Chain A
Amino acid sequence: MRLTHFFSAWCLSSAMAWSADTVSFEKDVRPILKAHCFHCHGEDGETKGGLDVRLRRFLEKGGESGPAIVAGKAAESHLLEMITSGEMPKGKPKLPEKDIATIERWIAAGAPTLRPEPEKLGPEHQFTDEERSLWSLQPIARPAIPAIDAGSAHPIDAFIAAKLSEKQLSFSPEADPETLIRRASFDLTGLPPTPEEVESFVAASSADPAAAWQALLDRLLASPAYGERWGRHWLDIAGYADSDGFTEKDPERKYAYKYRDYVVRSMNDDKPFDQFVREQVAGDEIALKLGLHADSPTPAERERYAELLTATGFLRMAPDGTATQNDLLTRHASIAATMKIVGTTLYGLTIACAECHDHRYDPISQADYYRLRAVFDPGFDVKTWRTPPGRLVSLQTKEAKAEAAKIEAEAKKIDDARLVKQAAFIDEVLEKELAKRDASIRDALRTAYKTVAKDRTPEQVKLLKDNPSVNSLSAGSLYLYDTTYKTKHADTLKQMADEAAAVRATKPVEEFVHAFTEVPKAPEAVVASHVLHRGDPESPKDPVGPGELSVLAGSRPVEIAAEDPALPTTGRRLAYAEAITDGSHPLLARVLVNRVWMHHFGKGLVASAADFGVLGEKPSHPELLDWLASQFMARGWSLKDLHRTILSSRTWRQQSRRDPERERIDPDNRLLSRQNVRRLEAETLRDSLLAVSGKLNAAVGGAPVPVMYNEEGQVVIGVDTTDTAGRQTGKFIPLNGEEYRRSVYVQVRRTRPLEMFAAFDAPSMTDPNCEIRPVTTVSPQSLLLMNNTGMREHAQAFATRLIAECGTDPARQAERAWWLSYGRRPAPDDVKAAVEFIQAQTEHYRTHPAKLDRVSGPAEKDNAAPELMGLAALCHALMSANGFLYVD
């Protein structure tokens, strides 16, 4: 049965190829009507004017205005009249002329259908065979590798070469070793190679290129920087942020960083990607299944428990305004954003478009959307919603909890003793004060003082007012009387308070995870899932159970069990995670390998990396995509293995230079007869500046590096010391090297993107995730490179490094600067020009002394040496030039 369906789809698509001039309802007309007319005429029980347009015979029958079409007579067809006049679609732009022409041609041809129409439109007729035949929904094949001349060709090259030769194109020559190591270093680690790495690779390459290349890949893939680079790619599409977003308040997510660390670590460990996906979707349920919990006996088990819970942070990355605005709409907005993230990461489809109605183009029904949502509904539990602080999971063990309670009790003892002492001190001072007063009022004054303020009689109030030094005696003012009576009461009390604080400080720190969990409930108490009419949370319609996209039903099971009796939770996510990673899902592996390809070439084999649907791009090399996907799964879903495969190909190792012939035949380089020149991403740019200036702090993981507004209103790295009214206090808290951490560790506050990140197209995660980064070229970027104080700081640090490493000879400095910035030797002309430039700038600073620049903190007091500033000018120019910003 499955096979038949699969083959019929193939036959249809090949049939379409050679009979392009015949029009049919299913292939040509229905998609137009579905996109523009179904909403009011057929979908969801809606038939405005009594007209349903979902079948040809419905059109012939027509509605209140009579038949919509008269087969063979376009001129007499009401439908054509309505769309030609623009009266329909009502209130929407007129249909494109070519669509109108298609419909006209179809009616004129007698309104043919490809096959008899169904008796009635049940769910099984939701999609036509044409819709089911969407390329990305077909099972992943294992295509044969094309045979090309060179017998030992790399499989990737064989697929690429086959297409190139069809267009009389061929591969470009291999890039030189300096280019290759720079490209590979940025691709795999997001950092430039050091001069020493370049030199040793160039030398090794001339001896044994293949061995040198393998050794280079080994080194780069083993570097912790690899996980930071590739973790960042995943964080883009997962929508990672350290704040809730949604509202202007944008509260911080204190523990989200653990998810970031989990991702980075998983990449570095080369965790099989299927497992990586399962943990993120259902880590909590995996932990339940394994019987892991916060009190598991061994540290390894507790660590694994924490890891599994942390992984589910994936489902809690979406913006969520419910910490400050906990209403139904805001809850649903967060769920919808999560669904979008699930749809784009795991399916590469715009499933989110089916929230309010059937997908206009892809075979995804609105019910499909809510079936998929039902997998997650018990965890979200929109009825008994947990707000962001309320859903943090504590990792504290029972033992630690008991320990903390014990310590608290000890501290409390000290507190109690302090209060007793404090009362005694107050009494003592009170008596001394009373002693100074006339005996006749002493008792009355004492009573007045000891009476609770609200119970005092007017006379008592007056008496106290007349004796201010009694009236104002309190725990807070005791220190004032110490001077009068030469006592040390305040000090004694403070010592005791410090002592209690010191005891409290020994409590074990309670750690939390930002996780997605499900509160176990009896099956009948689990929140029910419904299709929401037009997406409105207040209008639930038919109940739905958990399931996958129904269009896949022909090739695989799509039902997800609503209950797993073996688990206290519903187990839906675990069942779902296992289903999509079972190795036969048509989308997941394709979407993943395509994203990896995109990061190695600047563009995916499917250019629309998050839309594998009807409106997305078709793959440029469908067989290669399938070969990569099947190979990826066959090799244990290993990302590192996939990198090796791709980076060992001639396709990847080509030079990037354009030439007129290639430009003429394939201007967009879809066929890959060369590599693409790519701009550094925002984070890579900043990391490169740090690496080259020698400041990079390579520490891995941990709480995010804070960001703040500086006095110029720029978002920079630093501890926010504004007061509660948001005013600058001028207070500066040094970060002691934290400010030089890699960019992946800089706090992602949705409303406060670091200036350099925002300028260079890093996502701010409000959308809610980032599928493909835009690449803009705008002058604020150039202003930043030119004038930003941070750039000056980087340049001055770079110059300081150069002087330390190679002394004061400008020619040596320039040569080393080139090596560090561009990974190659400068031309003699360049050195000459650089030396002249350094000297001219140095002369300038002799007559115009300047200080080193500081982004934050106290300004420099003394002028810097003119030689340093002159050299810094060269560094600044090298760091802001295109050679720095682009990779060949």
Chain B
Amino acid sequence: MHSRRRFLSASYGMGTIALATLMKEQGLLHASPEVAGAPRHFDNLPKPPHSFGKAKAMISMFMQGGPSHMDLFDPKPMLDKYDGKDFPGEVKYDDAAGASREVMASPWKFSKHGESGIEMSELVPHMGSIADDMTLIRSMHTGVNNHGQSIYALINGTILGGRPTLGSWITYGLGSENSDLPAYVALTDPRGLPVLGVDNFSNGWLPSLYQGTVVRSKEPRILNLDAPMSLQGDAQKRYLQFVSRLNDSHLQDRPGETDLDARIQSFELAARMQTAAKEALDLSQESEATKRLYGIDKPETQEFGSRCLIARRLVERGVRFVSLFTGNQTWDHHSSLMTSLPAACKYVDQPAAALVIDLKQRGLLDSTVVHWGGEMGRLPVIQNRAGVKNDRTKVGRDHNTYGFSMWVAGGGFKGGHVHGATDEFGHKAVEGVVNHFDYHATLLHLFGIDANRLSYRRNGLEHKLVENPQARVVSEILA
């Protein structure tokens, strides 16, 4: 048996641990075959994909609430023509109470960006600056017009809860490249969790190993990561050594009991995480220029910028999947679109663009998928909840899951590319429609995962992320 004491003390000198030993972590757990209904064992060891995949990691910035695509990414001259007039067709409303047929032009100017000339609005100038690195999808569709269901569609592939999220599936399939850190990390907003709360990073019925580990927006960023005041420094070191002594002699009397060994190793990982996670979350190691790039020097972008920078540091260290969230209904602009949308954009525009720029300059963009988008877009007509007639500063736009925009960059997606289109009013996706299941199939493809083979046996059935037979890999957006 290898010496655990030596191993443990190594954890106090960062980064000197032999990877081979680390690989043993929980690998031992993998001994028992999968038996229906019986307890099974799982691990986060790196696993080869089914075929070569460009993408190795993903960062998803989920803009819960539904950013207004026709005010940000999908210019519609027809809206200018019809501004103030009745919408000439059927509108699918969600909130009938505030519904109107009055078309509202976007109050913001659009202009072309980069060599690709992708048109984006003045609210997202930084995103404009990375136009040549992104695929802008203007034809997203989930077709379920409320927040909860549409979030579920995009994060777990169905309109129901209780299922594993995208990050759980990908870490279940591929494991992690870093055994000192959790494989799947959720970076939550200090203003609160998005609609559906922790379901946004749930492992569903996959083992808890595949749950997103919450890195909180404030200290302590990881629960139980820091030793309590009474157990710091040498006190903890001696404690760990003594536990290790107890466990070694316990295991000696129980040879071959692999669970005991696995637990010993998980204790060691925990000890390493104390330093590894702290190091990964320590932004003081970044240059002032980098911090400025993310807008950490400015109050309005400091918070989201910090999280974007943490996301990059995690991916850099081999974390497989990072989710960033904005607060509850940040983008749900049923009213006061004029003031609320610019504020919401300001919070994320520069940091989100900085993430792509930074990943690119570090050579990580090719292997990292970056996603920015919400669960829906908005309607081309006015929603007038406040009942203030003719006051455009108070009105908003209602839900629209029939056609909306989001962008993806890196990891094998094309740069400087626009995919699909909505109708001339921006209500419904009409060209190159990308459903949530198409999006998932495309992502798995980029990771080299065969969507039909990534499955989990439960209640006697094979469950998958992509269960809709109509799902297709959107090859037009692949580099």
Contacts and interface: CB of A to CB of B under 8 A. Distances in A.
B263 A882 contact: yes
Contacts of B89: none
Interface in B326-378: none
Contacts of B228: 787, 789, 792, 853
Interface stretch (B34-42, B132-140, B383-391, B419-427): B34-42
Nearest to A830: B249
A658 interface: yes
Interface stretch (A129-137, A195-203, A444-452, A843-851): A843-851
Contact of A882 (B213, B251, B270): B251
Contacts of A353: 459-461
B54 to A, nearest CB: 24
A767 B202 CA distance: 13
A616 B32 contact: no
Contacts, number: 205
Contact of A663 (B29, B38, B198, B256): B256
A830 B40 CA distance: 34
Nearest to B467: A92
A-B complex: 9 closest residue pairs judged by Cβ atoms: A91-B469, A608-B37, A615-B460, A782-B270, A850-B230, A881-B246, A607-B38, A658-B256, A783-B224
Given A782-B267, A792-B231, A840 B238 contact: yes
A851 B245 CA distance: 27
B131 to A, nearest CB: 36
A851 B266 CA distance: 29
Interface stretch (B65-73, B204-212, B295-303, B409-417): B204-212
B161 to A, nearest CB: 8
> Which of A660, A851, A873 gathers the greatest number of chain B CB atoms within 10 Å?
A873
Contacts of B26: 777
Contacts of A883: 246-247, 250
A800 interface: no
A776 interface: yes
Contacts of A614: 460
B209 A776 contact: yes
B257 interface: yes
25 contacts: A607-B37, A608-B38, A611-B459, A615-B460, A615-B461, A616-B460, A657-B254, A657-B255, A679-B259, A712-B220, A771-B37, A772-B38, A774-B207, A776-B209, A778-B208, A778-B266, A779-B267, A779-B270, A786-B227, A837-B242, A845-B235, A851-B230, A869-B230, A877-B246, A882-B250
Contacts of A885: 263
A420 B335 CA distance: 49
A92 B225 CA distance: 44
B273 interface: yes
A774 B208 CA distance: 9
B7 to A, nearest CB: 14
Contacts of A848: 233, 235
A551 to B, nearest CB: 17
A248 interface: yes
Contacts of A656: 254
Contacts of A713: 216, 223
A781 B240 CA distance: 15
A658 B257 contact: yes
Given A767-B205, A786-B267, A833 B242 contact: yes
Contacts of A92: 469
A865 to B, nearest CB: 12
Contacts of A677: 254, 257, 259-260
B196 interface: yes
A611 B42 CA distance: 21
Given A658-B255, A771-B37, A876-B231, 20 more contacts: A350-B460, A615-B460, A616-B36, A617-B37, A657-B254, A668-B32, A677-B259, A766-B162, A767-B205, A779-B273, A782-B263, A782-B266, A782-B271, A783-B223, A784-B223, A786-B240, A786-B270, A787-B227, A792-B230, A882-B251
B257 A780 contact: no
Contact of A774 (B39, B262, B270): B39
A93 B461 CA distance: 14
> Which of A603, A830, A877 gathers the greatest number of chain B CB atoms within 10 Å?
A877
A776 B460 contact: no
B14 interface: no
Interface string A456-479: 000000000000000000000000
Contacts of B284: none
B223 A714 contact: yes
A881 B243 contact: yes
A841 interface: yes
B285 interface: no
A609 B209 CA distance: 23
A732 interface: no
Nearest to B39: A775
B32 A873 contact: no
Interface string A825-863: 000001001100100110011001011110000000000
B135 to A, nearest CB: 26
Interface string A702-734: 000000000011100000000000000000000
B111 interface: no
B224 A779 contact: no
B470 interface: yes
A785 B246 CA distance: 15
A755 interface: yes
B351 to A, nearest CB: 23
Nearest to B259: A777
Contacts of B197: 248, 751
Contacts of A350: 459-460
B224 A617 contact: no
B234 interface: yes
B229 interface: yes
A403 B262 CA distance: 63
A837 B238 contact: yes
Nearest to B464: A93
Contacts of B310: none
B381 interface: no
A774 B251 CA distance: 22
A568 to B, nearest CB: 38
